[in-house]
């Protein structure tokens, strides 16, 4: 049993959507449509088991010239606690550096996870207005309980 990390491919999209939407049904993240995933496939990284089954995903979505968002971090429940989510976020942070982004943020219900990776909690109002594009579609808008966290990219 071997985990492999790689950029997502078009044929991964149905598995990515299924994984994300499991957590979305629990109210832990926004659902993603197939259309949205296909259009943004270049944002996504996956972790596979034996280079076959997608067991985790995460995306780095550039939002503006100097800021990006880590989003859609999801790991199949039976594979949690193995550092896969941490590795996916680290990969996204490395990619953010390669893109010359200065900051990366996430909106999360688990700020403690991101704190271990060097993210700091900030008021949501400090984030650029462009960030709220997805929020408008959320069933919890405008009464969202997610916490904003930011990482300064080196």
Write the CATH number for 61. 3.40.630.30
Name the pLDDT band for 53 (thresholds 50, 70, 90): very high
| Rounded-to-integer distance, Cα 151 and Cα 76, Å | 25
Domain count, the chain: 1
Residues β-bridged to residue 7: 45
Could you give the C-alpha distances from 127 to 26, 54, 103, 122, 131, in angstroms and in order? 26, 32, 10, 9, 7
Domain holding 124, by residue range, is 3-152
pLDDT at position 51 is 83
Collect all residues with Cβ–Cβ distance below 8 Å to 148 and sequence separation of at least 6: 105, 106, 107, 121, 122, 123, 124, 126, 127
Tens of pLDDT, residues 37-48: 999 999 999 999
| Rounded-to-integer distance, Cα 48 and Cα 55, Å | 5
pTM of the model: 0.92
Name the pLDDT band for 127 (thresholds 50, 70, 90): confident
């Amino acid at each position: 049993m071997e985990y492999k990390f790689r950029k997502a491919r078009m044929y991964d999209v149905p598995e990515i959507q299924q994984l994300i939407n499991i957590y979305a049904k629990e109210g832990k993240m926004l659902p993603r449509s197939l259309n949205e995933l296909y259009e943004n496939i270049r944002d996504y990284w996956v972790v596979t088991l034996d280079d076959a089954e997608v067991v985790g995903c995460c995306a780095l979505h550039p939002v503006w010239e100097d800021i990006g968002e880590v989003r859609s971090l999801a790991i199949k429940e039976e594979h949690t606690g193995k550092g896969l989510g941490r590795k996916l976020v680290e990969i996204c942070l490395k990619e953010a550096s390669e893109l010359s982004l200065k900051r990366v943020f996430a909106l999360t219900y688990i700020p403690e996870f991101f704190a271990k990776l060097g993210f700091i909690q900030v008021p949501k109002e400090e984030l650029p207005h462009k960030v709220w594009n997805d929020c408008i579609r959320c069933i919890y808008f405008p009464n969202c309980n997610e916490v904003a966290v930011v990482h300064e990219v080196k």
